[in-house]
Structure 1
């Protein structure tokens, strides 16, 4: 394709078309990742690169964006330089976006190849953010006593018991839950056209057994505080709000809220007074140094399973993640804990 064949389009318009194309086929986390990283790219095009037409994008522009992003551009001065894995993620999204632009005659079809991806070491690929497995029972004990069968309690109990992803949790309908049977279980179903795709699509569909205790908590939540509501597709979500199906941010806030030590009556390990600490504000909970995400709790679940000598293959099937990914990204055990596992098995 020659430059004469290109069709003019602004970066923002191309971004919108790309996100629209993603909406029906990509998992929610993929869509959100593209939306976030492309927000930075569009800002650079409009404010730094002064690019009004994608036809004008050059290899030099790609290099300058890469340098700007690496040096903390779009981070509002919070960091001097972003982590290698964050840069790699940003550039991967831009590469996919520019490949899409080639398909719509906005750039040459092979232009995406000019977006070089950085090589990452094993350490670069792994996030340090996690929560010690020993912290979770304290949170569950508090919720069972003071917030029994609340939505937060039901979410925590289910995530800790099964290690289900945020997207899988949101995807659950009342009809996917079997609690009044001899073998209680949940069924995870991929419904991409109805706002609840699973990360691994059809391969992510599975049935997971749950304990009688967790089944009882879920049933009491359904019979009690659950808000009777449907989503935009007339489905009955398990976890609801007054607007319908629970949002991604509401699930995250459920974990940010209760991983703050002060929320369960533990003195602040950071020396803050809950009466004056800014992170007691609902809108700032995630800023607490002790606050953790649903993904961090999923990692802790893997670590706990492995410390309890649950075979890797069983953990892999239950959490719908390959054994290699579990080892690299989820199992946050120390070298000593891993040595103890091997010793207990050999002994």
Structure 2
């Protein structure tokens, strides 16, 4: 193509033609992203006084890149995306004879350093627990409570959350179905599309607690029982219909401010004068976050608990390679220890030798192809961990319970230790009597059981055992009498 064969066209007109052409193969969200990306280019063309795309060349494209770096808040990753949009637009412009054929290849797209496109932002476990506690206490069964709980448990995108209709939720079976429902008219409301279209459609299991929360929300008198503009009944509602993605983002920004859920500020700001305390400025709080960091927390939490990535991939609508790159951010030591749980089950010489499965146990995990079923193996590992945990928890809880008593009640050690120690001569016999009294019942029980052990055929004890029993009983009666006598010595 020669320069003389180019047809003059303004940047804005070329952009309009490109967007119209992309409507045949791009989703609404993609069209919106393209339009916002090209808006920067149109603004730059107006700034530079470029009215004909025929004049665009390598020097102009480099100038545009530098302008973007100076005038927009784009990091390397977003700048890469912005210039990639421009390059594809210029490929289209070559087809309509608006720019020379080699122009698209001259777009200076920055290379993204390794791992720079990985976002590590996510809330801590403590922050998640505090947010949940706040919702359960002050906003139980509210829309925001349900929004937070669904993303926390399942790790779905905010667009998928918004798309849920009432009919998509089966509370009895504890299932949520995600369906792609998009509109083809780009000039109207976009509907509720899923990011990956029909490929993103799926059914997920939810916990009994989440199902109960959704049931309470549906019965909440403060919930708006409305339909959207398409006559559908959304699960999440506002007085005007289905909440927008921006509304849900704003809900989480407001919730995740520490001054909201913890009534404190880790940034040494004056809560009364901080601009982030205003609802419309909630995102300006350094600790607040949008739904995506919570999605990241959920996915990493599920990975860390041992959910197989092929199953998690379907659940959160993300490919396994993307899970590995963007979400599996566990330290190598933790990954190694997680793998060790598998190796010690399958092979001798790894980890706990008692955990290694026998040939019979391994055979029980085989599938029809004679291979070990990884899902069954993971379930076995999870079951083993669960069986090991409760015994420790129970012992801890039991010890905690034993240690509890009324604040005003004195224990036996309080008579002799600490600031509540009581040293009175009259108390010494009481202590001795109580100590012996605690020992005698157990000893008496032992002797009575010994009178007629189960191994003997005769129900009657021999003379020796009978004599011991009578002596123990007499001693017990004697000591009980002494205890009552000692108690009578105490002051009223």
Conserved 8 A contact 2:178-2:203: yes
Mapping for residues 1-347 of structure 1, pairs under 5 Å:
3=3, 6-20=6-20, 22=22, 26-27=26-27, 29-47=29-47, 49-70=48-69, 72-75=70-73, 82-108=74-100, 111-179=103-171, 181=172, 183-193=173-183, 194-224=190-220, 225-346=222-343, 347=351
Q: Is the 8 A contact 1:149 1:220 kept in 2?
A: yes
Q: Match of 2:315, SS?
A: helix
Which residue pairs with 2:426 in the alignment?
none
Classify 1:108/1:217 alpha carbon distance in 2 versus 1 (closer, same or farther; 3 Å): farther
RMSD: 2.5
Shift of 1:345: 4.8
8 Å contact kept, 2:162–2:245: yes
The secondary structure found in structure 2 opposite 1:125 is coil
Q: Secondary structure of 2:71's match?
A: coil
Q: Taking CA–CA contacts closer than 8 Å with sequence separation of 6 or more, which of the two structures ends up with the larger relative contact order?
A: 1
Alpha-carbon separation, structure 2, partners of 1:99 and 1:144: 53
Structure 2 vs 1, CA of residues 16 and 158 (structure 1 numbering), >3 Å: closer, same or farther? Answer: farther
Q: Using structure 2 for the length normalisation, give the TM-score.
A: 0.63
Distance 2:248 2:108 in 1: 35
Deviation at 1:54, TM superposition (A): 2.8
Offset at residue 19 of structure 1 (A): 4.2
Query: What secondary structure does 1:244 align onto?
Result: coil
Distance 2:34 2:6 in 1: 24
- Comparing 167-176 with 334-343, greater Cα deviation is found at 334-343
Cα distance 1:214–1:23, how it changes in 2: closer, same or farther (>3 A)?
farther
Q: Distance in 2 between matches of 1:123 and 1:187?
A: 33
Unaligned runs of 5+ in 2: 184-189, 344-350, 352-492
Distance 1:144 1:21 in 2: 49
- Measure, in 2, the Cα distance between the counterparts of 1:105 and 1:241: 49
1:339: how far off?
4.6
After TM superposition, the runs of 4+ consecutive aligned structure 1 residues lying more than 6 A away are none
Contact 1:159-1:165 at 8 Å conserved across structures: yes
Structure 1 window deviating more from structure 2 (248-257 vs 31-40): it is: 31-40
CA positional deviation for 1:233: 2.4
- Indicate the SS of the match to 1:118: coil
Encode CA deviations 1:129-181: one digit per residue, 9 max, x unaligned.
222244212211211121011111111111111111111112212221212x2
Structure 1 unaligned runs (5+)?
76-81
Tell me by how many angstroms 1:253 deviates: 0.8
Quick one: structure 1 residues 213 and 100, their matched pair in 2 at CA, closer, same or farther if it must change by over 3 Å? farther
**Higher mean C-alpha displacement, 204-213 vs 31-40:** 31-40
Shift of 1:94: 1.5
Whether contact under 8 Å (2:276, 2:283) holds in the other structure is yes
Does the Cα contact within 8 Å between 1:26 and 1:197 map onto a contact in 2? no
Q: Distance in 2 between matches of 1:8 and 1:234?
A: 46
How many residue pairs end up in the alignment? 337
Give 1:50 deviation, angstroms: 1.9
Structure 1 CA distance for aligned equivalents of residues 292 and 5 of structure 2: 45
Report Cα offsets for 1:294-339 as digits up to 9, x if no partner. Answer: 1111111111112212222222121111111112112343445445
CA displacement, residues 87-118 of structure 1 (integer Å, 9 cap, x when unaligned)? 11111122233234345554356643332433
Q: Closer, same or farther in 2 for the Cα pair 1:245/1:97, shift >3 Å?
A: farther
Distance 2:158 2:331 in 1: 26
